[in-house]
Amino acid sequence: MSFREKSTWVLLAVTVIVYGLYFANTIGGALANGVPEVADNVRLFGAVVLMVILSIIAHIVIAILSPKDADTADERDRLIELRGDQYGGFVMAVALFSTLGLALAGASVFWIAHAALAGLVVSELVKSVSKLIDYRRGV
């Protein structure tokens, strides 16, 4: 398994764990207790910081375990990255229009912001899964 494939696995796992917990707590709380009056930016900031820290630590571990692979990217890696970006970008565009639909429908800022964040997270998940499929199948 190449460094880039390991990196994709790590980012997929970290994204699912961190944002899964974030959305479970935030949306679950909003559904149980109603939409909060004041934005809880601390929880979102904490999720982003945790995502960055876990990703950095995991990439350092991967680079230490296979240092010769950490700096190489060939034509196949670039093509897989491009295809993943295309699929993720398509999902992000659909999410953007959905978020605009929420805004036009008069939804609260809480739901609009979380729909935009969910679109970003889902697009990253689609990108990662697409890349992993391409690595396994070959391009």
Which tokens is 103 given? Answer: 């805004």
Task: Find, among 48, 41, 57, the residue nearest to 7 by Cα.
Answer: 57
Which pLDDT does position 38 carry in this prediction?
Answer: 63
Rounded-to-integer distance, Cα 97 and Cα 29, Å: 26
pLDDT in tens, 88-112: 999 999 999 999 999 999 888 888 8
Domain count, the chain: 1
Amino acid at position 117, single letter? L
Range of the domain at 52: 3-137
pLDDT of 126 above 90: yes
pLDDT of 42 above 70: yes
Rounded-to-integer distance, Cα 78 and Cα 131, Å: 11
Q: Going along 59-138, which residue ranges are E strands? A: none
